[in-house]
Amino acid sequence: MIISKNLRKSKDFMIFSLALSGLIITIVTHPISIYTTYFGNGNSEAVEGLLCDVVSHCLVISIGATWYSSSLMALNCFYSTRPHSKMRIILQSRLCIIFLLVLAWLIPTVITVIPHIAGYALPAYAPVWGVCQTLMRAPRKENITNSAIIVVVFLMAFNMIVCSFFYAKLLVFLYRRTVIFSNSAVQGQFERTCKQMILMFFLMVVCLLPLTIVGF
């Protein structure tokens, strides 16, 4: 995207956001999780808590960004089937997409951090390094349970509903052929693209649905 201007379209930015979230999960959370699993016993409690917090926050924020980016991609794919829609023109704007993708990362960050910061104002809730140390020491563990439920609902359940709705709309489009292009080659390419996006959505659901269920 930095080198080629041809890769700076709205859909390319969405794919980049999805790739970035997956990269963070892979290169940050997995190595630290492996390290703490096999070598964590030799560290101090503070270091273990810090490493645990890095993993948990990066994981939740990245998963949230994945879901929000996927929801945005679902919107984009749905309105691509409506050539004369104003929303389609808006979603093709580079500045608009960048702004929405920034929100896609900012919202899960805020949702993840605020419940922890709010814990300082609650009785018997004493965060040390963050979520992990709080869970170890806080007498009122239900505070952490409530925070986790809020995070799961806003980051996963809501976006799963949004994605499912608009990808279902795409399925209806493919069934009814509501958009007909005069060029048969363009029509075929457009329908193949929609089918690929639906396949991507189902693969994403298969990968993230177990984590969502565990979160509940």
List average pLDDT for each run of 10 residues in the chain, which is 216 residues long. 63 81 80 69 63 75 80 76 75 82 83 64 48 50 54 65 69 62 72 70 64 50
Q: Please, where are the H alpha helices in 81-93?
A: 86-91
Rounded Cα–Cα distance for residues 66 and 100 (Å): 13
Rounded Cα–Cα distance for residues 134 and 124 (Å): 10
The predicted pLDDT at position 44 comes to 63
The predicted pLDDT at position 14 comes to 80
The predicted pLDDT at position 92 comes to 77
The predicted pLDDT at position 185 comes to 76
The predicted pLDDT at position 91 comes to 77
| Token code pair at residue 113 | 């951090």
Q: At what angle do helices 10-24 and 94-118 cross, to 10 degrees?
A: 30
The predicted pLDDT at position 127 comes to 47
pTM: 0.63
| Of residues 179, 192, 185, the one with CA closest to residue 82 | 179
- The CATH number given to 5-215 is 1.20.1070.10
Q: Please, where are the H alpha helices in the chain?
A: 10-24, 30-39, 45-80, 86-91, 94-118, 131-137, 142-152, 158-176, 184-215
The predicted pLDDT at position 18 comes to 81
The predicted pLDDT at position 147 comes to 56
Rounded Cα–Cα distance for residues 130 and 196 (Å): 40
The predicted pLDDT at position 192 comes to 74
